[in-house]
């Protein structure tokens, strides 16, 4: 009934979006093509429907991808016979492969009961206090995200959180949201922590240590400040009264380990994958190949039937990503994202600090609504062009690094916390919650995510400007 009532509102919103995109750009002097207006209408329309949840996000992304494809063909941007090549080229298989491989590894690891063990151990340390539990799990997630990547940590931590919540009979959603936020902040510290970092480091020829040197202090300060924000943001949720604390303290967590031999094999493979992640640049191997290789090795040495392992894969999430990649690639092909990027950086008249701040904030908001991976791909050539501007180049000349790359990393990584689809980790976490019977609406995520994103981006910007003044 509610969905039926929402249909007229959705219709009015869609008409408003189309009218705005066909009139506003021309009114402010932008050269907006029909293809730009149509593809942006589809993208913005998808967000409207996502908020209302009238259509499941995976089905919505697939329908959106099909409409984008039709628009591109009939506006002459791609020939019909090249549509398959466009679809394949649009999908970031490195991200898809990373998710698939880690889902298999973590799924097999979950069969051992180790998540229950960790969860009960963490809850005991927190003595059932919800804030202490949130704090502990957030810190673990943030630190782990820097060395594993944020998606992997979410895959590891969400099952732990759900296990603890069920023992204590509390709602796990606030704690999972805190872990999502922590993963996106912590993942910004290293080049393997978040997919955009890998793309930036590759374009800027940055090694692991150089990236960490410039980003880790930023992340540490921002994360410590974010703990205060978390307590304010979730103050009502932290009043939950765990019902089974005494029962929890009596549980022997060691008995939760069901298969020690499988646990040993899974941990060895996981550690091997983590080490390979850290040195993937030296090895010249994509992180997706490492993750898939780890999954394959684990399947072989454990003799687990692939069908049983594949049950743990969130196929709907992977298909959502595939559809989203196609949609954003279509928008990018029209030149709309590039036009947007050029507009925001030319507004500063070559002032370096102003340009950097604008890159941070525009990247934060754009990443929240477009997904930080394709947005980063769009911004990389823009950053390269900006760096050639005479005013910008004169500022960079005495430096041995380009701070604009780190401005992009801050905006893209921190901005991922703004909406449900802002970062891969967000979608994976929500999918895991749904698998266990917990629902998080798009609009509910924004209510917590957007204030957190704005606050942490503001803190990150402040730290960035101080370091810019000190040239460190």
304: helix, coil or strand?
coil
For residue 23, count other CB atoms closer than 10 A to its CB.
Answer: 11
Show Cβ contacts of residue 282 under 8 Å, excluding neighbours closer than 6 positions: none
Q: How far is CA 209 from CA 192, 278, 282, in A?
A: 11, 10, 12
How many angstroms separate the CA atoms of 431 and 426, rounded?
A: 9
Q: Give the pLDDT of residue 471.
A: 76
| pTM given for the model | 0.77
Closest residue by Cα to residue 340 from 71, 45, 36: 36
Compute the half-sphere exposure of residue 202: CA atoms within 13 Å on the CB side of its CA. Answer: 16
| Helix (DSSP H) and strand (DSSP E) numbers for the chain | 24, 0
C-alpha gyration radius of the chain: 22
How many angstroms separate the CA atoms of 466 and 188, rounded?
A: 18
Closest residue by Cα to residue 287 from 104, 97, 100, 153: 97
91: helix, coil or strand?
coil
How many angstroms separate the CA atoms of 188 and 215, rounded?
A: 7
> Which sequence spans correspond to the domains of the chain?
1-89, 94-310
> Over the range 160-171, which residues count as b (16 or more CB within 10 Å of their CB) and which as e?
bbbbbbebbebe
Closest residue by Cα to residue 208 from 97, 282, 99: 282
Q: How far is CA 350 from CA 82, 347, 386, 408, 412, in A?
A: 40, 8, 9, 17, 22
How many angstroms separate the CA atoms of 160 and 1, rounded?
A: 36
Q: Give the pLDDT of residue 2.
A: 43
Question: From first to last of its 472 residues, what are the pLDDT tens digits of the chain?
Answer: 445 555 565 566 656 665 666 565 655 556 678 888 888 888 888 877 876 767 887 888 899 999 999 999 998 899 998 899 999 988 888 878 888 888 888 888 878 888 778 878 888 888 878 899 999 999 989 998 888 778 888 988 898 899 888 888 888 999 999 999 999 999 999 887 887 887 788 778 777 788 888 999 999 999 999 999 999 999 888 877 777 777 777 777 787 788 888 889 999 998 998 888 778 777 778 878 998 999 999 999 998 888 888 887 878 878 888 888 888 888 888 888 777 766 766 777 778 899 999 999 989 998 888 777 767 877 887 888 788 778 888 888 888 788 999 999 999 999 999 988 888 889 889 888 988 889 888 888 999 999 999 999 999 999 999 988 887 6
How many angstroms separate the CA atoms of 180 and 163, rounded?
A: 17
């Amino acid at each position: 009934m509610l969905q039926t009532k929402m249909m007229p509102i959705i219709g009015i919103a869609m008409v408003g979006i189309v009218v705005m995109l066909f009139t506003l750009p021309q009114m402010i002097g932008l050269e907006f093509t029909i293809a730009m207006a149509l593809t942006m209408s589809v993208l913005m329309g998808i967000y409207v429907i996502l908020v209302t949840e009238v259509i499941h996000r995976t089905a919505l992304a697939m329908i959106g991808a099909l409409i984008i494809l039709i628009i591109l063909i009939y506006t002459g941007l791609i020939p019909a016979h090249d549509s398959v090549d466009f679809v394949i080229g649009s999908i970031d298989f490195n991200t898809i492969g990373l998710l698939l491989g880690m889902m298999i590894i973590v799924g097999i690891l979950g069969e051992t009961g180790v998540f229950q063990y960790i969860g009960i151990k963490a809850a005991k340390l927190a003595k059932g206090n919800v804030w202490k539990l949130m704090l502990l799990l957030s810190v673990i997630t943030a630190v782990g995200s820097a060395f594993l990547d944020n998606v992997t940590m979410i895959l590891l931590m969400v099952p732990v959180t759900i296990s603890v919540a069920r023992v204590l009979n509390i709602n796990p959603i606030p704690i999972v949201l805190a872990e999502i936020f922590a993963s996106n902040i912590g993942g910004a510290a290293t080049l393997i922590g978040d997919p955009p970092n890998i793309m930036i480091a590759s374009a800027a020829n940055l090694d692991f240590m150089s990236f960490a040197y410039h980003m880790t202090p930023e992340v540490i300060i921002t994360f410590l400040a974010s703990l205060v924000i978390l307590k304010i943001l979730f103050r009502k949720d932290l009043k939950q009264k765990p019902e089974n604390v005494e029962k929890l303290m009596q549980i022997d967590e060691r008995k939760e380990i069901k298969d020690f031999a499988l646990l040993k094999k899974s941990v060895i493979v996981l550690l091997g994958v983590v080490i390979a992640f850290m040195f993937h640049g030296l090895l010249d191997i994509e992180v997706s190949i490492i993750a898939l290789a780890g999954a394959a090795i684990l399947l072989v040495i454990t003799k687990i039937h692939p069908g049983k392992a594949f049950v743990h894969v969130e196929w709907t999430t992977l298909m959502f990503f595939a559809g989203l990649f196609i949609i954003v690639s279509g928008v990018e092909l029209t030149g709309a994202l590039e036009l947007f990027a050029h507009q925001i950086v030319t507004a500063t008249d070559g002032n370096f600090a102003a340009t950097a701040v604008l890159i941070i904030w525009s990247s934060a908001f754009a990443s929240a609504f477009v997904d930080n991976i394709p947005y980063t791909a769009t911004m990389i050539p823009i950053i390269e062009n900006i760096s050639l501007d005479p005013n910008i180049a004169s500022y960079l000349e005495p430096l041995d690094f380009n701070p604009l790359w780190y401005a992009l990393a801050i905006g893209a990584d921190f901005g991922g916390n703004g909406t449900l689809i802002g970062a891969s980790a967000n979608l994976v976490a929500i999918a895991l919650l749904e698998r266990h019977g917990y629902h998080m609406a798009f609009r509910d995520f924004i209510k917590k995510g957007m204030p957190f994103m704005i606050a942490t981006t503001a803190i990150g910007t402040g730290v960035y400007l101080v370091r810019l003044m000190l040239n460190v």
